[in-house]
Amino acid sequence: MVQVKHKVEKFNIATDAPGHVELLLGNEAIARGIVEAGVQVAAAYPGTPSSEILENLVKVAKKVGMYAQWAINEKVAIEVATAASMSGLRAVTAMKAQGLNVALDFVQHLNLIGTNGGLLIIVCDDPEAFSSVNEQDSRWLAQIGDYPLLEPSSVQEAKEMTKWAFELSEQLHSAVFLRSVTRISHASSVVTMSDIQRLDRKASFDLAQYFSPSPVVQKHAELKQKLEKARKIFESSPFNWYRGPSSPDLTLVCSGTGWLYALDAIELLDLEKSVGIIKLGTTWPLPVEFIQKHLRPGSRVLVVEEVDPFIEVHLKEQMYDKWGGDELPKIYGKNTGHIRAVGELNPDNLIDGIVKVLGVNYRGRNLSYDKKAKEHASKMTLARQPIYCPGCPHRASMWIVKRVLRLEGTDGFVTGDIGCYALDRYHGGQRVTRTQSAMGGGSGLASGFGKLEQFGFNQTVIAHCGDSTFFHAAIPAIINAVHHKSKTTYVVLDNSTTGMTGFQPHPGTLLDAIGDPAVPVDIEDLCRSLGCAVEVADPFDLEDAEQKLRDLVNREDTKVMIYRRKCGLIVFREEGPQYKVWVDEEKCFGEECGCDRYCTRIFKCPALIWDKEAHKAKVDEALCTGCGFCFKVCPQSAIVREKI
Amino acid sequence: MDEIDPLNIIVCGTGGQGNVLLSRFLARVFAKKGYYTTIGETFGSSQRGGAVMSHVRVSRKKSYGPLIPEGRGHVILGLEPMETIRVLGQYGNPEVKVISNVRPVYPMEAITGEKDYPEMEEVKRAIQELSSESWLLDATQMSLEMGNPILTNMIMMGALVQTKVINLSRSDMETMIRETFPDEVAQTNITAAIRGMQTVSSH
Amino acid sequence: MTSETVLKASQRLYDEVITTGLCTLCGACIGLCPYFGMNLRRGTIRRIDPCERDEGRCYQYCPRTDTDMDAIYRRILGVPYDKDKIDIGVVRDIFLAKSRDADILKKGQDGGVVTTLLWAAMEEGIIDCAVETRMDEDKSPVGFLARNKEELLQCAGNSYEPGAVFETLNRIPRDSSDNLAIVGLPCQVAAVGKMKTYPSQNGVNVDNIKLVVGLFCGWSLSPGSFHTFLRENFDLSQVIRFDIPHHPAHSFDVYTTSGKKSIELDEIAEFINPACSYCCDMTAQFADISVGSGRAMFKGWNTVIVRTGAGADLIEVAKKNGMLEIQPLPEENLTHLKKAALIKLKKAIKKITERTGSEQDFGYLKVRAEVAEALLEE
């Protein structure tokens, strides 16, 4: 997100211009906060909605004297960052919620160890699971790990909090959690910049210190004291405030996105005079004295947060201890059914909640318009499930896997994983993938299925994973399969990138995050060194790729098929279309015997469409990227391609 | 001009059409003129051909939240006609103004024949019925004639400016194009925007 | 028993034939379209994707879906299917024959007549190529388009399995102008008969099929299980050819580079395709020329039945060019042949009627009432 000014240096997040105003993405603002705090080491693994944080840091890392790394997975990423913190530098790691799950073993005892240089753990949750396998609320994990927790409510605040978090961390000698969500990380807003600190500390490991969580109970008690210290700091934090009348009919207690939605809701309901807002930016430990100051016995409180009733539950518990008796403020929220318990928060479901509590009316839009609009929408719109892009090599790979499984005829299936290739289970895929779980999950499951033969299991199982997923989590599962002689086939879909999250590098690529030459770890060599059968093919080379897989699947041992071809979007961007592709209508059989709309019904590339009038297939030139693969699919050779 | 504040604009389309780029372009033009602008986007896996929309909120007073409440859209800029209908379904109201492309991007179910893409005449009628004013153009066809489908975005941007439903001038837009795109392609993008403007003028 | 053929779709083919033990693996459904595929290793036909058409050639041409015997007989042989045809079909001429070519005799089965006739047809310009099968390194018969004598020689030799000859035939583009011959087992020849009776705009042009050569067949072996057996007991790269010598021998012979190994016929009985027990046709009734072994008395000779004018013309060509040695078939051989064919037929009818549950219902076989009576006679 940059403005290109002629003859003026373009703004980037390392531009030293305090007071400058710029439209920034939430994650960019966080990255700017990291730069302003003088952080020297950043390590992460890509994960929506957190990826842009490190993506923006790598662009300016050299300029600001920072080392930034795309690590092999989130657990190693946080370890890399912690090494820097141990050595006295300020360090940061960022991840999506499920990435926190991967790193959790380290995270859960990190705060018992304590920190030297300020260490910030940024976790970006995904309410409504737009791009995730669950919509977990990571705040509970911050509580379990005894971390001070910050939740920004706007893009500007995301920058401010991030910057301040390092001070807090150094004050407490404790790592700090910052929890963002999609609607903060992926929202854009105008942001005013501050000073950039340049710390340039020397990294040094103090041998007098012993970095360990033991003795656990003693360290745990110390940690509890740190949290209490944090709470005292939070009681007067500028990130918490009250806005509204001195005697409101209803007090909203908001965190994160709740704040701005609350402002929208109150404005629309015209309740500025009777509804107040306690906006919390520090949400664990709760600044209970601050909250109590703005509530009275019998106050009506609606807690506005996502996804879980984290604050709601803690607030009730704290109030119970502090207030007692029947003077307790009445606390509404998710547990009382006033706000949806699942899915993302938005101004509309918040309005519903306020209406429910106060019993006021809300005039939404004109009723007859509402009815008409919803009717048209329901009649004229279809679902759009995510599908493989035109030119995607995974479309070819899963096509081949489908053919092999069907020809084996053993009710075979694919154990799936996380990444672009997982789109096989949606409308545009071949739907041979029947499981999805954690990173590397498919590979682990497959090593299990491969040992069920003694119980009569005779279905062909293929696990697929991408190149980045292979490194992240699949390697231990594959080693497990080889060692235990699991009869499974692994198909590694190597498109030379971490695709779904935005084409980040990984340990198999030639360059690192910053663009310096790295040592590429070769997947083929690694698998061969395990002693199992390994084949490599280009999935666009249909006959060869299919024959190799067919030969492999019947082996009794563990085997690996590597389908290697660069991501289609990258090829299109770097090299443009390879072929001009069109359908020869004379040759196209369309609905006739011998075809029955094979390309549009079965192969399913969005650039191959069906012309209802002509009863023929057609290439949509607005979408086709000229990869030329479909030419091999047509049984009548009606799809023609010409090299450009 | 009596400004709507906050002005709620929704840019919608399918993943891969450049929805995000267009909404940011639009927001930056406003930001440059001193408005508080906020964009709420949905991307990530929805890039892969899913339904995408960006909520752009523009105000003189403050930064608004990233989500436009239901029924509160003022302007809808639709890169794909089915998406325009989808957004109208949730965010439209009798006063809303719509500028929409009329070139379908077929969802996979429509390509396989499991479902039907609605007839374009029906879609156009529905858009007109559900808005106070609407402008419909085949921006994709125009971009293909110009040699690159990615120009659809700037054609739509030009159309938007020409309708005068938002307080941005042609000069605001052209300046931002020059600031956003490398010199080699800036002029082509301006030409595309002008084509969009011309289509609306002759409406 | 009507003579109306009902057209249905790939799903029904799968449900009625392929998965019910009726499928002989003739392969007529393979290669028409991308929806069916053959797994040679397992000896199975699989549906790769679903076709939504109500009508399709796969169902129409399958020899185990409704087969209107009268319609096909009239089209191919010019006569109706009468009860005098039920054993060995139309016999325009029948004799013993043997190739005069040394190369062919060395490689061919028995008298090498099939190879010789195809070669004669090529030399005479009747055909441009022959759709045959050739054994791959795994000794599986794969479809092959032979265009000259060397290539024909590569195809010589019986594999005792149904070869994927149709996949090759079906893949010939409809605008090809090559004249073809095709060699097949009775089920495959029946499928060609249906193709000719119900020609389609799509797929290979049946007018180009100038010659159909059928092979006598009592049963064939299941590619999947039989091949596993072969792999376990032999180094397939050393195998040259197979033979089942006639009575009184009771063996399946495997000729390898280090000599011949005889396996008790009973040992391979388990690999016989169970679908063969529903087959009523021992001599490939819908061929132009049908060729079988000369039997014990005439080892090294083939029994040849000529059924059509095209067949007769080709025999004349071969005779004229001195490519074939011919002698009359003794009466007792003819009697034996008819008896053997009738036994196969009656066994099959019994199995079919057990399966359909009614003596009035011959399953896929659609015949007129008086023929039905003849089929039921002991």
pLDDT for C106: 85
Mention every residue, 6+ apart, whose C-beta is less than 8 A from residue A225.
none
User: What is the DSSP code (8-state) at residue A498?
Assistant: B
Percent of chain A with pLDDT over 70: 98
Q: Is the predicted pLDDT of residue C1 greater than 80, yes or no?
A: no
pLDDT for C296: 65
Q: Do the Cβ atoms of C39 and A407 come within 8 Å?
A: yes
pLDDT tens profile C40-95:
888 889 999 999 899 999 999 999 999 999 999 999 999 999 999 999 999 999 99
Which residue, among A473, A446, A482, has the nearest Cα to A557 in the 3D structure?
A482
Largest distance between two CA atoms of chain B = 49
Return the residue in C35, C142, C167 with the most chain A beta carbons within 10 A, the one to mutate for interface testing.
Answer: C35
CATH architecture of A241-358: 3-Layer(aba) Sandwich (3.40)
- Across A19-38, average pLDDT: 97
Which residue, among A159, A180, A150, has the nearest Cα to A33 in the 3D structure?
A159
pLDDT tens profile B168-201:
999 999 999 999 999 989 999 999 999 999 999 8
Q: Is the predicted pLDDT of residue C6 greater than 50, yes or no?
A: no
- Across A430-445, average pLDDT: 95
Cβ under 8 Å to C: A residues 176-205 = none
Q: Is the predicted pLDDT of residue A3 greater than 90, yes or no?
A: no
Name the pLDDT band for A517 (thresholds 50, 70, 90). very high
Cβ under 8 Å to B: A residues 475-514 = 500-501
- Closest residue in A to C32 (Cα) is A594
pLDDT for A234: 98
Which residues make beta-bridge pairs with A462? A414, A489
Task: State which amino acid sits at residue B103.
Answer: R
pLDDT for B48: 82
pLDDT for C202: 87
Percent of chain B with pLDDT over 90: 88
Q: Do the Cβ atoms of B38 and A49 come within 8 Å?
A: no
| Average pLDDT value for chain A | 94
Strand, helix or coil for residue A74? helix
pTM: 0.92
Cβ atoms of A418 and A399 closer than 8 Å: no
Q: Is the predicted pLDDT of residue C5 greater than 80, yes or no?
A: no
- Across C211-232, average pLDDT: 92
Q: For residue A160, count CB atoms less than 10 angstroms from its CB and return exposed for 0-12, middle for 13-18, buried for 19 or more.
A: buried
Kindly list the partner chains of chain A, i.e. chains with 3 or more CB atom pairs below 8 Å. Answer: B, C
User: What is the DSSP code (8-state) at residue A511?
Assistant: B
pLDDT for A5: 38
- Closest residue in B to A262 (Cα) is B65
Mention every residue, 6+ apart, whose C-beta is less than 8 A from residue A494.
A466, A467, A470, A508, A523, A562, A563, A564, A565
pLDDT for C7: 45
Return the residue in C12, C48, C195, C227 with the most chain A beta carbons within 10 A, the one to mutate for interface testing.
Answer: C48
Instruction: For B7-201, give the CATH class.
Output: alpha beta
- Closest residue in B to A615 (Cα) is B113
Mention every residue, 6+ apart, whose C-beta is less than 8 A from residue C175.
none
- Across A594-600, average pLDDT: 95
User: What are the φ/ψ torsions at residue C131 (nearest 5 degrees)?
Assistant: -90, 110
Q: Is the predicted pLDDT of residue C196 greater than 70, yes or no?
A: yes
Name the pLDDT band for B131 (thresholds 50, 70, 90). very high
pLDDT for C3: 35
Q: Do the Cβ atoms of A377 and B111 come within 8 Å?
A: no
pLDDT for A262: 97
Instruction: Quote the minimal CA–CA distance from B163 to chain A in Å.
Output: 23
C95 or A8: which leads in pLDDT: C95
Distance set, CA B35 to CA A169, A340, B59 (Å): 35, 33, 6
Q: Collect contacts of A511-515 with beta carbons under 8 A, ≥24 apart.
A: A512/A69, A512/A70, A513/A54, A513/A58, A513/A61, A513/A68, A513/A69, A513/A70, A514/A58, A514/A61, A514/A62, A514/A67, A514/A68, A515/A58
Q: In what order do the strands lie in the sheet with C251-256?
A: C239-243, C251-256, C259-264
Cβ under 8 Å to B: A residues 128-157 = 130-131, 154-156
Q: Is the predicted pLDDT of residue A110 greater than 90, yes or no?
A: yes
Instruction: Please check whether the domain covering A393-573 is classified as CATH 3.40.50.970.
Output: yes
First to last CA, chain B: 23
Question: Which of chain A's residues have a Cβ under 8 Å away from the Cβ of C51?
Answer: 596
Cβ atoms of C80 and C64 closer than 8 Å: no
Q: For residue C360, count CB atoms less than 10 angstroms from its CB and return exposed for 0-12, middle for 13-18, buried for 19 or more.
A: exposed
Name the pLDDT band for A9 (thresholds 50, 70, 90). low
Instruction: Quote the minimal CA–CA distance from A374 to chain B in Å.
Output: 5
Q: Do domains A21-201+211-235 and A393-573 have the same CATH topology?
A: yes
Q: Is the predicted pLDDT of residue C317 greater than 90, yes or no?
A: yes
- Across A250-274, average pLDDT: 96
The torsion of the CA quartet B120, B124, B130, B134, rounded to 10 degrees, works out to 150
Distance from C-alpha of A595 to C-alpha of C225, rounded to nearest angstrom? 32
User: What is the DSSP code (8-state) at residue A599?
Assistant: I
Distance from C-alpha of A343 to C-alpha of A336, rounded to nearest angstrom? 16
Task: State which amino acid sits at residue A407.
Answer: L
Question: Which of chain A's residues have a Cβ under 8 Å away from the Cβ of C33?
Answer: 593-596, 598, 635
Name the pLDDT band for C110 (thresholds 50, 70, 90). confident
pLDDT tens profile A543-583:
999 999 999 998 999 999 999 999 999 999 999 999 999 99
Q: Do the Cβ atoms of A608 and B31 come within 8 Å?
A: no
Instruction: For A577-643, give the CATH class.
Output: alpha beta
CB of A407 within 8 Å of any CB in chain C? yes
ipTM of this predicted complex?
0.95
What are the sequence ranges of the domains in chain A? 21-201+211-235, 241-358, 393-573, 577-643
Q: Tell me which range, C236-245, C295-304, C364-373, is most confidently predicted by mean pLDDT.
A: C364-373
What are the sequence ranges of the domains in chain C? 10-223+271-376
Question: Which of chain C's residues have a Cβ under 8 Å away from the Cβ of A409?
Answer: 39, 42, 44, 46
Question: Which of chain A's residues have a Cβ under 8 Å away from the Cβ of B15?
Answer: 384, 386
- Across A523-551, average pLDDT: 96
Name the pLDDT band for A2 (thresholds 50, 70, 90). very low
- Across A202-222, average pLDDT: 94
Kindly list the partner chains of chain B, i.e. chains with 3 or more CB atom pairs below 8 Å. Answer: A
Instruction: Please check whether the domain covering A21-201+211-235 is classified as CATH 3.90.1150.10.
Output: no
pLDDT tens profile A402-423:
999 999 999 999 999 999 999 9
Q: How many residues appear in chain A?
A: 644
Q: Is the predicted pLDDT of residue A322 greater than 80, yes or no?
A: no
pLDDT for A326: 67
